[in-house]
Amino acid sequence: MSYFFVKAESNKKIIYNVAGKNETFILNVSYNAIVSEKCNKNRCQALSLLEKKASLDCSAFLFFNDRNPTNVICLDHLHANIKIGIDERGNETSICYFNDNSSVIADSLVRICK
């Protein structure tokens, strides 16, 4: 069986296993980002952050080598936490968690770079 991701459709729920527990995420169509379910109904830090497009100078670390650069944004610049989510096919992805427990797939954080 091949590992193909089930592409997120609008309002389709995606389950990631994070630290042994299943968490529900959803594709927010307005922001075109996969965020924690609570963000879909209420304002949250994850969505507020995505509104700050092109505000961070990422030139010093935005390249492919040692560290996943979007994780650098989450950990070092936003002072949030990274956890690894595993989808139903076993594929891994970094998820950035904020103080209000909202979260967003770390890959989306690249849009806040200039």
Partner 1 sequence: MFNSLKTIIQTYLTIFFKLKKLTFKLILVIYCVFNCVQTHAGSECSNTRLDQHNGPLANIPIYDQDSFGSCYAYVAAQLIDAFRVSHKLPNPKSLTSPVKLTTDTMDSNAEQGGGYIEKAIENAKYYGSCNKKVTDQLLSKLNEKEFYAQTLSHYRHYLKEQERQSMFKKLTNTILGNDFSALQSIRCNLQNTGLSKNLLPSLADLDKIIKESYKWENIYLKNLISNICKNDTLDLSNLPNPISEYITHKPWDAQERANQTQIVLNRLLTEKNAQPVGITFCGITLTNPLYNGHPYNTDECKRHAAIIVGSKKTSDGSCMYLMRNAFGTGCELPRRFGLECEDGTGQIWLKGDRIGKATLGLTILK
The secondary element (H helix, E strand) that includes residue 27 is strand 21-28
Q: Does 42 bind partner 1 (CB under 8 A)?
A: no
> Binder to partner 1 among 52, 53, 89, 114 (CB under 8 A)?
89
Written as one letter, the residue type at 24 is T
Q: Does 103 bind partner 1 (CB under 8 A)?
A: no
Q: Under a CB-based contact definition with an 8 Å cutoff, are residues 41 and 34 in contact?
A: no
CB atoms within 10 A of CB 67: 12
Binding part of the chain for partner 1, among 4-12, 23-31, 42-50 by CB under 8 A, reads 4-12
Give the helix ranges, DSSP H, for the chain. Answer: 38-41, 45-50, 69-72
Q: Does 90 bind partner 1 (CB under 8 A)?
A: yes
Q: Under a CB-based contact definition with an 8 Å cutoff, are residues 49 and 104 in contact?
A: yes
Q: Does 94 bind partner 1 (CB under 8 A)?
A: yes
Size of the site for partner 1 (CB under 8 A): 40
> Binder to partner 1 among 31, 77, 84, 100 (CB under 8 A)?
84
Q: Does 60 bind partner 1 (CB under 8 A)?
A: no
